[in-house]
Amino acid sequence: MTIENALKIFQENYQMKNFTQAIEILEKHSNEIDPVIWHYNMGSCLAELGEMPRARYHFLKAEDGGLQTEALRQNQKFVEKKLDVEKWEKSLSASDYIITGARFLGDGPLLTLSLLGLLIFFILYKKIQKTKNLFLMITIVGLFLATNWAIKNMPLKLTMEKLAIYEGPSKIFVPRSEIPPGVIILSLGQDDWEHVIYPSRFEGWIKKSNALKELGE
């Protein structure tokens, strides 16, 4: 079966609301379909089946891959509303605002500024050949690029199910709360545990598991 025929059958199943069959086709041809389109289609099927955390994961992967369509934005908005994302990921502390801002910048603006800086650098190169000015310009552009790289490589993860939060990295501690499914977190690993630092409302320790899906590139 050609990939064109597979996608045609996928569309037919999707339109007939045979979402389970549509997912089976996507899984069978996962190595042949463009990853961005694959994630978008998978997210759409999962959303129709009510599997919102998994759907959000695939929509985020499609977005990371460069997909920027109105259909994707509307689907993300629908899924995020179902997961109550606005409530759970609302910034409550200075660190929350910084990380949220960094995520926004990492979606494009910071890279745009970096490229703009490079363009200005080359345009003004002859006028800034003095050593100090040249070094300053290179340093500024380098900082933009390095920051963009750091943001893109933040260890963001998405929760696929409820996860218990502990006071420390051991089950001798009593769980004090839970992270709901479908929430983006920033955590740092330590042995079999993850220390959640964002969102700050969920600060604490969670057990490493398959219920955490890594995001980013």
Tell me the pLDDT band of 171, cut-offs 50, 70 and 90. Answer: confident
Q: How confident is the model over 118-129, as a mean pLDDT?
A: 56
Instruction: Please tell me the number of Cα atoms within 13 Å of 203 on its side-chain side.
Output: 8
Question: Do 75 and 137 belong to one domain?
Answer: no
Residues 148 and 160 in one domain: no
Answer whether residue 107 shows pLDDT above 60: no
> Residues 182, 85: contact at Cβ < 8 Å?
yes
CATH number of 16's domain: 1.25.40.10
Residues 176 and 146 in one domain: no
Does residue 171 lie within any of the structural domains?
A: yes
Indicate whether 16 pLDDT > 90: yes
Q: Last residue of some domain: 127, 152, 177?
A: 152
For residues 27 and 65, membership in a common domain is answered with yes
Higher pLDDT, 124 or 154: 154
Domain termination residue (choose one: 30, 56, 83): 83
Domain limits for position 67: 3-83
Output the pTM of the full model: 0.78
The Cα 96–Cα 45 span in angstroms is: 32
Residues 107, 127 within the same domain: yes
pLDDT digits (tens, 9 = 90+) for 35-78: 999 999 999 999 999 999 999 999 999 998 889 999 999 999 99
As a whole number of angstroms, the distance between CA 168 and CA 101 comes to 28
Q: For the chain, give the DSSP string.
A: --HHHHHHHHHHHHHTT-HHHHHHHHHHTTTTS-HHHHHHHHHHHHHHTT-HHHHHHHHHHHHHTT---HHHHHHHHHHHHHTTHHHHT---SHHHHHHHHHHHHHTTHHHHHHHHHHHHHHHSGGGG-SHHHHHHHHHHHHHHHHHHHHHHT--EEEESS-EEEBSSSSTTSPP-EEEPTT-EEEEEEETTEEEEEESGGG-EEEE--TTEEE---
Which CATH number characterizes residue 168's domain?
2.30.30
Domain count, the chain: 3
Q: Does 137 lie in the same domain as 179?
A: no
Does some domain include residue 89?
no
| Mean of pLDDT values over 201-206 | 96
Q: Please check whether residue 88 lies inside any domain of the structure.
A: no
Q: Predicted confidence band at 95 (pLDDT cuts at 50, 70, 90)? A: confident
> Is there a single domain that holds both residue 210 and residue 194?
yes
